[in-house]
Amino acid sequence: MAFALLPLPFDSEALAPAITAETLDFHHGRHHRSYIGKVNAAIAGTQLDSQSLEQVIAAARGSDPGLFNNAAQSWNHGFYWHSLAASSNGPSGDLAAAIDESFGSLGELLEQLKLRGAAHFGSGWVWLAEKHGKLSIEETHDADTLADSGFNPLLVIDLWEHAYYLDHQNARPAYLAAVIEDQLNWDFAADNFARGSAWTYSA
């Protein structure tokens, strides 16, 4: 069964100027589509053809770097689109309490996300994640993912240059500030926190 490209869960103009429609056109319409297409081509006619994307990631990790990279990138981008929103209303309820307990305050969490994202060397991802009720910031390099890691990912920000270069050129901190302050989908984070297990790519 071929995997589908998840549609963007917002209008392509909704994140500007933090992330413009032009960036989304390339990032979603070309990069993400390409990763999905390569996974589908690799698993067609194999025993992985009937598996979930999470199962493909786990099967390929450590044994098939090409398939792993494309499957993990497919998952990470689906999760990233859902981590973004037209407006950021902030965390509430149990998630807000967990943030205060783990980071001291929401402001401190956002500051740490910016610092970790800016300091990350090269391509990768910066995550807000949960394990055993404790929240933490995690980083993965290149295509690596928290999908099969034992962490419950709550939010992710793409640190690859293709995520921000058209809009912010080399100023990754400007992209991070714009996204982290105004475009994070805290309702998605709260849903992930409440579920207590990793989101699944279902298309």
In the bound state, the residue with its beta carbon closest to Fe ion is 158
Residue from 59, 69, 145, 158 binding Fe ion (CB under 5 A): 158
Q: Please state the closest distance from residue 14 (CB atom) to Fe ion, in A.
A: 18
Residue from 3, 160, 175, 201 binding Fe ion (CB under 5 A): 160
Tokens of 74: 């497919």
Which is nearest to 71 in space by CA: 152, 127, 151, 147?
147
From 34-42, 51-59, 139-147, 157-165, give the range in contact with Fe ion by CB under 5 A: 157-165
Give the nearer residue to Fe ion in terms of CB position, either 74 or 193: 74
Q: Please state the closest distance from residue 159 (CB atom) to Fe ion, in A.
A: 9
Give the list of residues 6+ apart from residue 104 with CB closer than 8 angstroms, or none.
Answer: none
Give the whole-angstrom CA distance, residue 20 versus residue 147: 27
Give the nearer residue to Fe ion in terms of CB position, either 29 or 107: 29
Give the nearer residue to Fe ion in terms of CB position, either 30 or 134: 30
Q: Please state the closest distance from residue 32 (CB atom) to Fe ion, in A.
A: 7
| Number of residues near Fe ion (by CB under 5 A) | 2
Burial bucket for residue 173 (CB in 10 Å: 0-12, 13-18, 19+)? middle
Give the whole-angstrom CA distance, residue 46 versus residue 34: 20
Contact between 130 and Fe ion by CB under 5 A: the answer reads no
Residues present in the chain in total: 203
φ/ψ of residue 129, rounded to 5? -135, 165
Where along the sequence are the contacts to Fe ion (CB under 5 A)? 158, 160
